[in-house]
């Protein structure tokens, strides 16, 4: 079945405060959707709520991947169903090496008894690290510990490549990247484009979208998608900022206000 990801009326709260106020979004395999928006408008909350971060309570709505509601699943089940999130601020885990983490993540998505062999895993990991121009020593470092911003982001893309997900959410994957690292990350994303994979690229700036070309662009404000269009929308936002969108909507404060 062709990948189909549909978010319908999703609402979520943090500590009782409503942040997501009814998100609707429909993506098909092969498509790249971008969500843009000023800070504090709920973009990362959407990513975290979809992935099942315990801090966020989904109070209404569904997010179905091929007709299965992810919101009914535990976090590991969502990952097994094919959802992947590259976080805006990846965690550091001392004592767990990057390669151990990656192999566990791959095996957690496989049936018992069909774990990836060590040799095969190492071959895959080394191949992908080369594509991402990562120093091989990063395999043996503790997960994200002491990684620079750019190294963390590359490592998120490495995880994505090895996990082969159906729906990929990239939350500000471009932040903290210089132009060379940005190009490498974009190459990694573009190499993963396929008919049965959909991408949701969350970004503040249009810059990334010069390298990862979106089919659809959505603007998020006040916990809602308030405007959608094609790539030209991102270009206009880059040139003119967000004020014209606020004027169109008749709002002064784009952030998620107090509930």
Residues that bind ligand ADP (CB under 6 A): 14-15, 19, 37, 39-45, 55, 255-256
Which residues in 74-93 contact Mg ion (CB under 5 A)? 88
Nearer to ligand ADP, 37 or 82 (CB): 37
Stretch that binds Mg ion, among 13-21, 43-51, 130-138, 181-189 (CB under 5 A): 43-51
Nearer to ligand ADP, 15 or 112 (CB): 15
By CB under 5 A, residue 222 contacts Mg ion: no
| Residues 6+ positions from 221 with CB-CB distance below 8 Å | 37, 38, 41, 242, 245, 246, 249, 251, 254
Min dist CB 259 to ligand ADP, Å, is: 10
Min dist CB 201 to Mg ion, Å, is: 13
Min dist CB 172 to ligand ADP, Å, is: 8
Greatest C-alpha distance within the chain: 59
Give residue for tokens 């003119």.
Answer: 240
Residue 222 interacts with which of Mg ion, ligand ADP, none, CB < 5 to 8 Å by class: none
Residue 37 interacts with which of ligand ADP, Mg ion, none, CB < 5 to 8 Å by class: ligand ADP
Nearer to ligand ADP, 55 or 120 (CB): 55
CA angle in degrees (0–180, nearest 5) for 49-52-57: 60
Q: Please write down the HEC assignment for all residues of 236-247.
A: HHHHHCCHHHHH
Closest CA to 1 of 74, 90, 68: 68
Nearer to Mg ion, 134 or 169 (CB): 169
By CB under 5 A, residue 44 contacts Mg ion: yes
Nearer to ligand ADP, 45 or 98 (CB): 45
Measured between alpha carbons, how far is 166 from 81 in angstroms, rounded to an integer?
8
Closest CA to 36 of 195, 228, 196, 246: 228
Stretch that binds Mg ion, among 10-18, 42-50, 119-127, 175-183 (CB under 5 A): 42-50
Provide long-range contacts, Cβ within 8 A and 24+ apart, for 182-188. 182/207, 182/208, 182/211, 183/211, 184/132, 184/133, 184/154, 185/132, 185/153, 185/154, 185/157, 186/211, 186/212, 187/131, 187/211, 188/131, 188/132, 188/154, 188/157, 188/158, 188/160, 188/161
Min dist CB 109 to ligand ADP, Å, is: 27
Nearer to Mg ion, 41 or 98 (CB): 41
Contact map string, positions 136 to 155, toward Mg ion, x by CB under 5 A = --------------------
Nearer to Mg ion, 79 or 220 (CB): 220
Min dist CB 95 to ligand ADP, Å, is: 25
Residues of this chain that interact with Mg ion (CB under 5 A) are 43-44, 88
């Amino acid at each position: 079945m062709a990948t189909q990801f549909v978010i319908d009326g999703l609402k979520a709260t943090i500590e009782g405060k409503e942040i997501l106020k009814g998100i609707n979004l429909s993506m098909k395999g092969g498509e790249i959707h971008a969500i843009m928006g000023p800070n504090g408008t709920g973009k990362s909350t959407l990513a975290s709520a979809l992935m099942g971060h315990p801090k966020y309570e989904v109070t209404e709505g569904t997010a179905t991947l091929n007709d299965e509601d992810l919101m009914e699943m535990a976090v590991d089940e969502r990952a097994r169903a094919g959802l992947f999130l590259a976080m805006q601020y990846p965690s550091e885990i001392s004592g767990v090496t990057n390669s151990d983490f990656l192999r566990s993540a791959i095996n957690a998505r496989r049936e018992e008894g069909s774990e990836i062999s060590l040799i095969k895993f190492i071959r895959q990991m080394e191949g992908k690290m080369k594509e991402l121009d990562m120093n091989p020593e990063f395999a043996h470092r503790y997960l994200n510990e002491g990684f620079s911003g750019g190294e963390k982001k590359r490592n998120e893309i490495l995880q994505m490549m090895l996990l082969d997900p159906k729906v990929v959410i990239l939350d500000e994957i471009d932040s903290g990247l210089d132009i060379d690292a940005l190009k490498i990350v974009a190459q990694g994303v573009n190499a993963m484009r396929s008919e049965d994979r959909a991408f949701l690229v969350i970004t503040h700036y249009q810059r990334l979208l010069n390298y990862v070309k979106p089919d659809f662009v959505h603007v998020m404000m006040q916990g809602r998608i308030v405007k959608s269009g094609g790539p030209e929308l991102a270009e206009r936002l880059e040139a003119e900022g967000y004020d014209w969108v606020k004027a169109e909507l008749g709002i002064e404060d784009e952030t998620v206000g107090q509930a």
